[in-house]
Structure 1
Amino acid sequence: MVHEQVEGETEDCRLIRACGSYGACPCDEMGGNEEDISKVTNYSEEFVQVFRKSLPLALTLLLQNLISSVSLLFVGRLGSLVLGSVTLANVIFNATTVVFLGLATCLDTLCPQAFGAGNYSLVGLYFQRCVAISAVVSIPISSVWIFSKPLLNLVAKDPDLINISSQYLKCMVGCIPGYIVFECGKKYMQAQGDFHTAQTVLFIGFPFSILANYVFILNSPLGYLGAPLASSLTFALMGTIMVCVMLRSRRCWHEFHWKNVMRGWEPLIRLAVPGIIMIEAEFLAFESLTVLAARFETTELAAQAVATSIQSISFQIPFAVSIAASNRISTHVGRGKIRDCQIATKATLFYMGPAVSTLNFVGLLSGRYFVSSLFTSDLSVVRRAAKLLFVIAVNQIWDVYNVLGAGCLRAQGRQSVGGYLNLVAYYVFGMPLAVYLGFGLDWQAFGFWVGLGFGIFTLAIGEIYCIYISDWPLIMLQAELLHGTA
């Protein structure tokens, strides 16, 4: 009975009906956009919208990944010791900066919902609060980097390697401000349907990163310490450009006031913590298998490294679709359109899902030998990596649904469901089976991917089931209450 009443209210009404003290009236700022908001959607429309937004997103994610790899290409010229040290430092860097990515996932839910509801300046306020929360979280993360030697001693024995890695991590602290602003800024712009600004910023940042690394690593006395300096300057540039764009287009900007920014954190933290768990659980599962592969022979370890790198690249396609779909569904939630939410969700899972999984499956399966040969000229490594990529290609059939399902859950504000499912799927099913197959049955890295694939399959089934039983009227009510506390 309660749900019937809620549905009656939310089916044709937007959330946050009153513009409130933070939001300008949508009629004042958007005028003609009222027709777009009330426009009836359909499956083909949702498919086209998600597909169109996914293209620049995929390129954005790929460029951002390449920026992280540029330093390794230049540092590798300084010798194997330096390359190994920087690689180890980057593992810790990536494992900890994932926290910032997880924090920013709260904006995947909040910003599009606020924008869809017409409460535009609330979008800007959410951005400012997320940056503030990330800045607070950066304090313990920076401390880990600055005092990283005890941690490095647990995973390495070479004192020279530990010293270089710790020095590198100390200097990487300078990356944090620009990194936070850029990540949160991406979500802020995407909530407004702008998926090109981040891409443009990366088109500037990527060549700048190459130039900065070349100058500071190979043409200055800094040596390997030129890499963190180049990274810091690159992220500072990207963050600065992002802020300039945001201030130039002030439709969703909220005037900065300390009191407003430093309060109302609970809704963001409530979504951010399970968002961190979702991303960190998956990241650590994949990274830990690479670390465990060090117990195998060199050829097996090299093949695992190649396969992991290729898998990471292929992941960007469904991840881009997931972000675009999450943004689209969240906007419908903000507008209070239950039917549109259902159509967008079904279009994502039943139309985009098969298309993307087929694309990744066919691409990895047919190109596994060729792509592996781009990473190494050792034929034994290529053959072994191709065997691993066969399993990874098969895993794409359900991994794509895992990624898209996570996006749908973020749109609904149900990150906590995704967090629990990730922990169970990876650490109750996937990882134990992977270790058993890899070491117990001596399938080595092949067993790792088979076991992990089972965990991914379990996760995909769990996410799709939770989405299938979604109580949309309750989701609408919770979203309205969530924004009401802002």
Structure 2
Amino acid sequence: ELKAIFKLTVPNVLTYFFTSLLPIWTNYSLGQLGALELGAGAFSHTLCSLTGLCFIFGMATALDTLCSQAFTGSEDKKIVGLYLQRGIVVCFLTFIPISILWLNIGGILLYFGSDPALVDLVRVYIKWRLLSVPPTIIFECLKKFLQAQGIVKAPSYIMIISAPVGVIINYFLVINPSTAIGFEGAPITIAITMWFSMTICIMYIAFIDGKQAWGGFTSMAFTGWSPIIKLGVGGMMMTSIEWWAFGAMTLVVPSFGAAQLAAHSVLVTLDNLCYMLHLGVSISASIRVGNHLGSRLPNKAKLAALCSYFFSICTAVVASIIMGGFASFWAHTFSKDQEVISIIIRLMPIGVVYQLFSSFNAASGGILRGEGRQFLGAIVLLAGFYVVAIPLSLYLGLATPLNLFGVWIGFVCGLILSSALYIYSFMKTDWDMEVQNTIDRLEE
């Protein structure tokens, strides 16, 4: 089981690592245009994530459960392809109100007093970013379709190809003086790259591997949405609760001054980098647990969960070494300001502790998705982030001299609570009952 999870985890880590490269490069390229463009790009990206993508990615987590369980639990493997089509349709329906919000976001920002110059750029960014959402939905669902079948190398191959292509397109549309079209080149690059990634993924399934679970287009994709919606709503809650919590933290930090904001940005960047490790384990956990439950093997499902926790400890150790072992290196790499460097080095031990519990939480979320218990995950995250993390961060950050340190301590405490709740839920899990729930779900 350890070997199986390891084989799944490495490609998954590569997939999400290369996926994260384009947004990083986009910020760099916009920084070459000026402070306003950089700020507008970063703000627009955050806005898209918190008001749209978190719901779409959350809804797509229904396929983590259904596809992985159906692949081993159904005699007809083509039921996985049916779930894929239903997932895509429901995700597109989810996108309709999101698109209406995005098209009117400029007026909303102006109403709340945002800088008109910033709003103009945000409108441009979101207009083009809308074009990237359809391929993003399809590609995200196709990834889960492949991953459920144990085909995890394909998405990593696709992103290894797509990420450099996106960087090259971005260079010519944003940076290169003779071909650049300015700020709008950044969201256009994202749209082109996502359409490219989706196309390659479809071709891979059609001509190389994965089509054995594809039964062709069917009108049944427009019926039987209940399992998708039940699981997807819980997944949306899990994703949005976590993403919004980090958004709330980011809103508080600027009040602490430029130096602490800069240090916070460095810690967040490193955290996002390390989270790719944890996310790889999380996806692997959902695949293995779901596959075993579909095969009616409760003991193996429990073993897969335990092995996933073991790997979460391993990735936490690696992340801790990356952050804590090279604290001075990262501080001097990201900044030349001595005050910022000092804050980063002093803050890093808290970041290391944060990684330990972040890894455990990611693995737990993957296990629950494999079981189909997204709502339980949402409740745990709600308690961890909104009962403890945010209130404690606000108090320690704003009412004590700790400032930025208090914000991070508050979030660590929230992760500790959610980890404890995850442990309790794992210990109370009736794996035989989860097998029965899987059978009922596939028959629904």
TM-score by length of 2: 0.95
Please name the residue that 1:226 is paired with: 185
What SS does structure 2 have at the residue aligned with 1:476? helix
1:336/1:476 contact within 8 Å kept: yes
For residue 431 of structure 1, the aligned residue among 390, 404, 420 is 390
Q: Distance in 2 between matches of 1:48 and 1:375?
A: 37
CA contact (8 A) 1:108 1:410 kept: yes
Whole-angstrom distance in 2 between the partners of 1:55 and 1:373: 29
SS in 1 for 2:326: helix
Match of 1:79 among 31, 34, 50: 34
- Partner of residue 123, structure 2: 166
Q: Which amino acid aligns with 1:102?
A: G
| Paired AA for residue 157 in structure 2 | T
Q: Following TM superposition, by how much is the alpha carbon of 1:155 offset from its aligned partner in structure 2, in angstroms? A: 6.4
Determine which structure has more spread, i.e. the larger CA radius of gyration.
1
Aligned pair 1:276/2:260, yes or no? Answer: no
Q: Which residue of 1 aligns with 2:10?
A: 55
Q: What is the letter of the counterpart of residue 328 of structure 2?
A: Y
Alpha-carbon distance between aligned partners in 2 of 1:155 and 1:395, rounded to the nearest angstrom: 34
Alignment deviations for residues 418-442 of structure 1 (CA, whole Å, 9 cap, x no partner): 0111111100111101100001112
How far off is 1:271 after superposition? 0.6
- AA aligned to 1:295 is S
TM-score normalised according to structure 1 size: 0.87
- Give CA deviations for 1:201-230 in whole Å, capped at 9, x if unaligned: 111111110111122223446311111111
- Counterpart among 198, 218, 222 of residue 239 in structure 1: 198
Partners of 1:300 and 1:384 within 8 A in 2: yes
Unmatched runs of 5 consecutive residues or more in structure 1 = 1-45
Write the distance in 1 (CA, Å) between the matches of 2:384 and 2:181: 45
Q: 1:119: how far off?
A: 3.2
TM-superposed CA distance for 1:267, in Å, is 0.2
SS in 2 for 1:448: helix
Structure 1 residue 319 displacement after superposition: 1.3
2:25 to 42, 45, 70: 70
Give the superposition deviation at 1:330: 0.7
Question: Measured at CA, do residues 363 and 270 of structure 1 come closer, stay the same or move farther in structure 2, by a change above 3 Å?
Answer: same
Distance 1:105 1:221 in 2: 37
Matches within 5 A, 1:81-100: 81-95=36-50, 96-100=52-56
Mapped to 1, the partners of 2:171 and 2:357 lie a distance apart of 41
**Residue 427 of structure 1 aligns to which amino acid in structure 2?**
Y
State the distance in 2 between where 1:273 and 1:287 align. 20
Report 1:336-347 matches (<5 A).
Answer: 336-347=296-307
Whether the 8 Å CA contact 1:408–1:467 is kept in 2: the answer is no
Q: Distance in 2 between matches of 1:157 and 1:253?
A: 48
SS at structure 2 position matched to 1:91: helix
Aligned to 1:37: none
Alignment correspondent of 2:262: 302
Alpha-carbon distance in 2 for matches of 1:272, 1:206: 28
Tell me: CA distance 1:302–1:177, structure 2 relative to 1, closer, same or farther (3 Å).
Answer: same
In the alignment, is the contact (CA less than 8 A) between 1:53 and 1:324 conserved in 2? yes
What is the alpha-carbon distance in structure 1 between the residues aligned to residue 335 and residue 85 of structure 2? 45
Q: 1:156 to 1:364 in 2, by over 3 A?
A: farther
**C-alpha separation between the residues in 1 aligned to 2:302 and 2:125?**
48
| CA deviation after TM superposition for structure 1 residue 232, in Å | 0.7
Greater Cα offset, 359-368 or 91-100 = 359-368
Whether 1:194 aligns to 2:151 is yes
Q: Quote how far apart the aligned CAs of 1:156 are.
A: 5.8
Counterpart mapping for 1:100-111 below 5 A: 100-111=56-67
1:467 and 2:426 correspond: yes
Aligned to 1:39: none
Mapped to 2, the partners of 1:386 and 1:170 lie a distance apart of 40
* Distance in 2 between residues matched to 1:72 and 1:267, nearest whole Å: 38
Cα displacement (A) at 1:160: 0.6
Is the 8 Å Cα contact of residues 247 and 253 (structure 1) preserved in structure 2?
no
Which structure 2 residues correspond to residues 338-377 of structure 1 after superposition, within 5 A?
A: 338-349=298-309, 351-377=310-336
**How far apart, CA to CA, are the structure 1 residues paired with 2:193 and 2:318?**
33
Determine which of 254, 279, 287 is the counterpart of 1:327. 287
Equivalence for 1:449: 408
RMSD: 1.5
Q: Contact 2:172/2:180 (CA < 8 Å) preserved in 1? A: no
Task: Tell me the CA shift for residue 252 of structure 1.
Answer: 0.4
Query: Quick check: 1:70–1:209 contact (8 Å CA) kept in 2?
Result: no
Mapped to 2, the partners of 1:97 and 1:362 lie a distance apart of 31
Asked if the contact 1:307–1:372 (Cα under 8 Å) also holds between the matched residues in 2, the reply is no
Q: Aligned residue for 2:380?
A: 421
CA distance in 2, matches of 1:154, 1:113: 47
Equivalent position of 1:255 in the other structure? 216
Distance 2:236 2:61 in 1: 8
User: 3-state DSSP class of the match of 1:209?
Assistant: helix
1:141 to 74, 98, 104: 98
Distance of 2:332 and 2:152 partners within structure 1: 33
Q: Secondary structure of the equivalent of 2:2?
A: helix
* SS across alignment from 1:223: coil
- The match for 2:441 is 482
CA–CA distance in structure 2, aligned partners of residues 312 and 324 of structure 1: 19
SS in 2 for 1:78: coil
Measure the CA separation in 1 of the matches of 2:283 and 2:334: 29
Post-superposition offset of 1:353: 3.1
Aligned to 1:34: none
State how many pairs are aligned: 438
Give the CA deviation at 1:338.
1.2
SS of residue matched to 2:129:
helix
Q: Secondary structure at the match of 1:70?
A: helix
